[in-house]
Amino acid sequence: CRHNQAYWRGEDYLGIGASAVSTVSMDEPGAGGPACAERRVNPRSVAGYLAGDPPEIEVVMPRTRLWEKAMLGLRTSEGVDEEEVRPVVDEEARDRLLRQGCLQRHCGKLRLNPGFLDISNTVIGALLAPPED
């Protein structure tokens, strides 16, 4: 359960086994936001994994990591800290989506209105500015 929570909150997590994915911070986050991370995707086949085939490795830059955290966290009942994700939010779109009822704001957090989960990709696509790392 903790692994899943870490994934949805944009925290570090380890995946073990064929096709498993891990995302781990490469350095300490500064006051300005999250750190770079290394994402590893283990070989997709069990045979390749057991043979020691190397994982695919991707460096995830801080802005992309923040964008991913916002994109996933908005889909949870907890939502995301509005101040933390501000750098990747289109503020005009946020205000419009709040007025339309697609988004909810509560105690400094933004989240999707549960009634709009079926169009979450559209809402999130309008809200978040694409990462440009």
What digits encode the pLDDT tens for the residues 44-63? Answer: 999 999 999 999 999 999 99
Q: Where in the chain is the domain with CATH 1.10.10.10?
A: 64-127
Per cent of the chain over pLDDT 70 is: 92
User: What pLDDT sits at residue 10?
Assistant: 87
pTM of the full predicted structure?
0.84
The set of residues, in sequence order, having a beta carbon less than 8 Å from that of 49 and lying 6+ positions away, is: 17, 18, 19, 42, 43
User: What pLDDT sits at residue 49?
Assistant: 97
The CATH architecture annotation of domain 64-127 reads Orthogonal Bundle (1.10)
Q: How many CA atoms lie within 13 A of 74 on its CB side?
A: 32
